[in-house]
Structure 1
Amino acid sequence: MIKDEDFIQSKEVPGPTKEEVRCLVMCKAHISKEDVVLDVGCGTGGLTVESAQRAQEVIAIDKNPEAISLTQRNIIKHKLLEKVRLIEGDALSVLTELASFDVLLVGGSSGDLPQIISRGYEKLNYNGRLIITSILLETRVEAVEAIKKLNMTPEVVEVTIAKGKVTDRGTMMMGRNPIAIISAVKKASHP
């Protein structure tokens, strides 16, 4: 896993997804070298870069041009430019144009999460994995409901991570935002 400080960051673009969370997301995603990964709401590119180290190809989408620029800088820094296709645009529009993929990562949805999950499910290959990261309670509920409507079984893991900060008197634990990792697998339908 890449350390958080090894990513180029900006105050205008959220991220990167924290190292420990990226580790859990990669564990749930089970990305192999044959997989095509779609990263919706790529932000600074934390999950894009981690996925590109494992996948055949990563398609990273964000409607914020600054996020696309920052993700590109991080991809170049980590020498993964040939494995990533960056698309600036609205995820719902872009999803209509894409071919199928094996893993769908959703970090940002601009309020369109149920529609992104539904449209993404249509393009997700069988045994494809869907992983959503959420810091908002409402997003957790939307994700679980949307997944259930597609007859998938959601798995929800919530993590709270604290990292030590050395002070004059000792090590103080600094809490980070709790985050839910919601995942599901698209199974082949049986007649």
Structure 2
Amino acid sequence: MDTVTPDEEFIKNPQIPGPTKEEIRCLVMCKSQVSSDDIVADVGCGTGGLTVEFAKRAKKVYAIDKNPEALNTTFKNLQKHELEDRVDLIEADGTEVLDSLPPFNVLMVGGSGGKMDFILKKGYEKLKSGGRIVVTSILLETPLESIKVMKDLGMEVEVVGVSISKGRISERGTMMVAKNPITIVSAKKF
């Protein structure tokens, strides 16, 4: 498996949060179990941190975001890493385009615009048997909603809470600086 791209190798956009931090991207790649034969739908791709990682590993990625500036930044990151030919960028609300995508193996939800219920149910319909859904969240409510929907769909759900701190070295010592805690909810379709 390819290594995860270091944070400093991403183009950032002050108008859009992201990219997803390196350690979280590592965990998401593990939880998604993405392979070179897989098709990925990345809903709410933001600046493309996870899109880049999926593009390095999957056969095809559909990166979806309703914010054109987010897609522009994702495209720049894909170009920088020479992966733009493996990704279709789609400017739309995830609820509007899931029906038009071919069946996929991984549904990644990084942003739902408050429509998690619909995105997960519609995504589940397009998810191939054995496929995985992964949701990342900084809000407390998002995992609760995701867990409920996934359980209602008959999926076995796994929840991981992650708190990352990075050392900032000074003359006097090392201060640990906390990043936003993230919750990762994942499940497999049987």
TM-score after normalising by structure 1: 0.97
Instruction: Map 1:116-135; keep pairs closer than 5 Å.
Output: 116-135=119-138
Name the residue aligned to 2:74: 71
1:1-191 paired onto structure 2 within 5 Å: 1-187=4-190
Write out per-residue CA displacement over residues 84-119 of structure 1, whole angstroms, 9 at most, x where no aligned residue. Answer: 000000100111211100000000000001110000
Q: Which amino acid aligns with 1:173?
A: M
Secondary structure of the equivalent of 1:115? helix
1:19-76 CA-to-partner distances (Å, cap 9, x unmatched) read 0000000001111110001100000100000000000001000000000000000000
Q: Counterparts of 2:122 and 2:17 in 1: how far apart (Å)? A: 24
Amino acid at match of 2:124: Y
1:139 is matched by which residue type in structure 2?
T
1:130 maps to a residue whose letter is: I
SS in structure 1 of the partner of residue 171 of structure 2: coil
Distance in 1, Cα, partners of 2:155 & 2:75: 33
SS of equivalent residue, structure 1 residue 44: coil
Structure 1 runs of 4+ off > 4 angstroms? Answer: none
- Determine helix, strand or coil for the equivalent of 1:154: strand
Could you list the runs of 5+ residues in structure 2 that have no partner in the other structure?
none
Q: Identity of paired residues, percent?
A: 56
Q: Distance in 1 between matches of 2:99 and 2:34?
A: 23
Secondary structure of 1:10's partner? coil
C-alpha RMSD of matched pairs (Å): 0.6
54-63 or 92-101, larger mean C-alpha shift? 92-101
Q: How far did 1:168 drift?
A: 2.0
Could you tell me how far apart the structure 2 residues matched to 1:91 and 1:75 are? 20
User: Counterpart amino acid of 1:170?
Assistant: G
Q: Residue 53 of structure 2 aligns to a residue in which SS?
A: helix
How many angstroms apart in 2 are the aligned matches of 1:116 and 1:181? 16
2:19 and 2:63 map into 1 onto residues whose CA distance is 14
Q: Show CA shifts across 1:108-157 (max 9, x none).
A: 00000111000000000000010000111100100000101101111000
